[in-house]
Amino acid sequence: MENNMQSQEVYNKDVTNKKQRPFIVDKEEYPFKSNWFEKDGISMHYIDEGEGIPIVLTHGNPDWSFLNRNIIKALSGEARVIAYDLPGFGFSDTPENYGFTPQEHVEWISSLLFEHLKLDKFIIVVQDWGGPTGLSVATSNPDKVLGVVISNTWAWKAEGKMFDFSMYMRTPEMQAKIIDENFFATTLMQSSINTKSSSNKAITDAYAMAFPTKESRKGTAVFPAQITLAVDWLEDLEGNLNTLQKKQVELIFGLKDEAVASQNIQDKWRSIFPKAPVQLLPEAGHFTQEDSPESFVFSLRRMMKNLE
């Protein structure tokens, strides 16, 4: 039997909203009050802190808005910082019959940003699967995009180590491991983030507790498979990246990540956005927001200064 008895709590910006968080997270690490976007009877969770230029912080697999907590803390005094949890991730509900494909995630992100928050202009920060999903939203609405910060991600047909990783994660053995053992949010996450974070139980719990049951882990199993299954969609996305070429773009690469910050991937991003400033982080791994939130703060402050 799996333990589903996670404590719940109400900690909402709107005090009349009694929607509960599905698990309790450390308030020092993640002090923000919750907001909820209701659609078709499903609640999508997001953080919305501060005022000024909207900055949208995306996330990928197997994490949630918690990954962006230190960027939110640093910038909410000088901008409006929005960080969502994808359906089935973090505090968000899972829609019925949800396939967890990037296309479905994009629909939810778009609904949140444009129908619910009615954002007119914004900066978007992308990493991991936040790249393809966030950039899909951005390239479909380039007139609304003020700037893009891109870190350890891709937006094209996977090759090399990324291709190999996806094919390995698609094997029945690894799919079972992800579902049965919460492999992505525990073993893989803990081995991929810096030692200070991985040795802090408040942090590792926040990542692991988002997926308490086998059923809740489906999204974490679908994402790695989609790296190679969503090829047509990714190729279409690559063809649309030119819509962002006149925007402010900043590149941040955590160099301990040999798969999604390989030299080939770095070179490809530089060729698409040749004027983009680049930060190379030798001590950061794949989850750059966890390992080096200050590099994002630096890029975003520079971007906002240029927009003044």
- Would you name the residues annotated as active-site residues? 128, 257, 286
Q: Residue 139 contacts by C-beta under 8 Å, 6 or more apart in sequence?
A: 237, 240, 241, 243, 244
Tell me how long the chain is. Answer: 308
Output the CA–CA distances (angstroms, integers) from residue 39 to 44, 77, 94, 112, 205, in the order listed: 8, 30, 11, 9, 28
In this structure, what are the phi and psi dihedrals at residue 48, rounded to the nearest 5 degrees?
A: -145, 100
Query: What is the secondary structure of 53-67 as a DSSP string?
Result: SEEEE---SS--GGG
Q: Where are the beta strands (DSSP E) in 69-157?
A: 80-84, 122-127, 145-151
The continuous run of DSSP H or E covering 36 comes out as strand 35-39
Are 217 and 182 within 8 A, CB to CB? yes
Q: Which of 58, 87, 38 has the alpha carbon at shortest distance from 220?
A: 87
Nearest partner of 125 among 308, 288, 305, 306, judged by Cα: 288
Cα–Cα distance between 246 and 264 in angstroms, integer?
23
According to DSSP, residue 32 is labeled P
Give the Cα separation of 22 and 26 in Å (integer).
13
**In sequence order, what are the beta bridge partners of 126?**
150
Amino acid at 280: L
